[in-house]
Amino acid sequence: MRVLLISCYELGHQPLHVASAAAFLRVAGHDVSAVDLSVQRLDEADIDAPGLVAIAVPMHTAMRMAVPVARAIRARRGPDVRIVLFGLYAPLCGPALESGLVDALVGGEYEQALAGIADGIPDPRTIVLDRLRFPLPARDLLPPLDRYTRLRIHGEERLTGYVEATRGCVHRCRHCPVPAVYDGRIRVWQRDALVADVVRLWEAGMRHLTFGDPDFLNAVPHALAVARAVHEQCPQLTFDVTTKVEHILEHPGVVAELRDLGLLFIVSAVESTSPRVLEILDKGHSADDVLSALRICRSLGIELRPSLLPFTPWGTLRDQVDLLDLIADNDLIDSVDPVQLSIRLLVPPGSLLLALPEMREHLRGYNSESFSHLWQHPDPMMDALQAEIAALVAVDADAGVAPRSTHAAIRHLTAQAAARAGLRWPGADRALPSQRDVPPRLTEPWFCCAEPTTAQLAGSGVSLGS
């Protein structure tokens, strides 16, 4: 069968989810093509020939972009094509789509299930957690690495690749969609296939690697074995990982060894400085723990890049002020992408938060377009502030405004809100600290649970079926 795989967005990276699915489909004997709408247009793909079109939805931004794409293809092809959504958000959000738009949904370890759909023997499960053996991803179907995000360091930019050592997560942070699918389990990529893929990326010019695991230190022995094997094959390669604050505190020696193997920075889900918010989210750390993790990282010469969730039903304006002060006081301005300061809690179907009375009292229905249960903050000023910051960040991101300028504007908006509320903020008018040597970072400024910008939606080529 002819199969078209579509990626909408994978945080600016060459889409591993499409490359991996394509490899399984090829092994099964299918004729596979692919298009990545983050750097290509839908009209660059032949959508009239495939009997199956599968769209990757590994994150919220991708899910939001996938729906108009699916509608455009359905409008053009009608019942002559099967449309499948695959990835983390498919089983969570897909059931709310209009009848007849998609024919199948598969999340978790989706590759073999996709091949089964193409073979005409679909798996009835929408969440598949089988242990798979991975062939080399079919990266030849994708645009080259120079079309994607790069590492910016010391005034230069380096081609960047993306792999995953594990999927799923052993933790059950209540706001995260991963536990709704993996339920505290992880699945691993076999080390030999992963290292062979990294070597191939190195030969294609990659000089920095992102390990995109939800938490790279979920399985410390596997993580170290992978990092050591990659370093042995590509000793000049640098990399970044994502891991929880508590793992940094538990394993400083492991972090030190990863530094020696090429680790430049860690992304960690700090989320908030509010004890109440952190407790409700079941994050397993405190604001003081964040500062301890920051000290560990800086003592090792590793950058800590926090990801944040500043707007929840339980966060207050004082929490917002405290968060901005933590960022400024600890010289983190250049380590926090402005979009992080705009994130509003998403509550997708299956979210663990839905079981909490603290969440249910704030719910106001379900929005099938945003794939989230709606909630309202008890203080209308907080919802208004979030909307203002989100609009500012999206416009600045599309326009290429310097992140420090956006940070300053966010502080100004927050100061105005504090003044209206009569909240004293001694640091409201202070200038941001002088810019230090710019820490290593990727050039992609967006985040997996952010709403797509106007430019991202416009770039997806959804006018094809109109």
- Read off the pLDDT band of 437 (50, 70, 90): confident
- Residue 142 pLDDT more than 70? yes
- Residue 246 pLDDT more than 60? yes
Strands 363-367 and 372-375: antiparallel
Q: So what's the pLDDT on residue 465? A: 39
- pLDDT, one tens digit per residue, over 2-51 is 999 999 999 999 999 999 999 999 999 999 999 999 999 998 999 999 99
- pLDDT, one tens digit per residue, over 404-435 is 999 999 999 999 999 999 999 998 888 887 77
C-alpha span between 2 and 72 (Å, rounded): 19
Please report, rounded to a whole number, the percentage of residues in the chain having pLDDT higher than 70: 95
- Residue 128 pLDDT more than 50? yes
The per-residue pLDDT of the chain, averaged, comes to: 94
Tokens at 421, concatenated: 């509320």
Average pLDDT over residues 279-305: 97
- The residues, ordered by sequence, that sit 6+ positions from 8 with a Cβ below 8 Å of its Cβ are 37, 38, 55, 56, 57, 61, 62, 65, 66, 69, 460
CA distances from 22 to 17, 48, 216 (A): 9, 19, 24
- Read off the pLDDT band of 194 (50, 70, 90): very high
**DSSP-based three-state secondary structure for 4:** strand
- Residue 138 pLDDT more than 70? yes
Please report, rounded to a whole number, the percentage of residues in the chain having pLDDT higher than 90: 89
Average pLDDT over residues 207-221: 97
- Read off the pLDDT band of 460 (50, 70, 90): low
- Residue 436 pLDDT more than 80? no
Higher-scoring residue by pLDDT: 453, 106: 106
Q: So what's the pLDDT on residue 454? A: 57
C-alpha span between 271 and 307 (Å, rounded): 6
- Residue 464 pLDDT more than 50? no
**What is the pTM for the complete model shown?**
0.94
- Residue 74 pLDDT more than 70? yes
Q: So what's the pLDDT on residue 397? A: 87
- Read off the pLDDT band of 458 (50, 70, 90): low
- Read off the pLDDT band of 466 (50, 70, 90): very low
Q: So what's the pLDDT on residue 72? A: 95
Judged on CB neighbours under 10 Å (0-12, 13-18, 19+), 204 is: middle
Q: So what's the pLDDT on residue 447? A: 59
- Residue 318 pLDDT more than 50? yes
- Quick one: DSSP state of residue 104? E
- Quick one: DSSP state of residue 183? T
Q: So what's the pLDDT on residue 301? A: 96
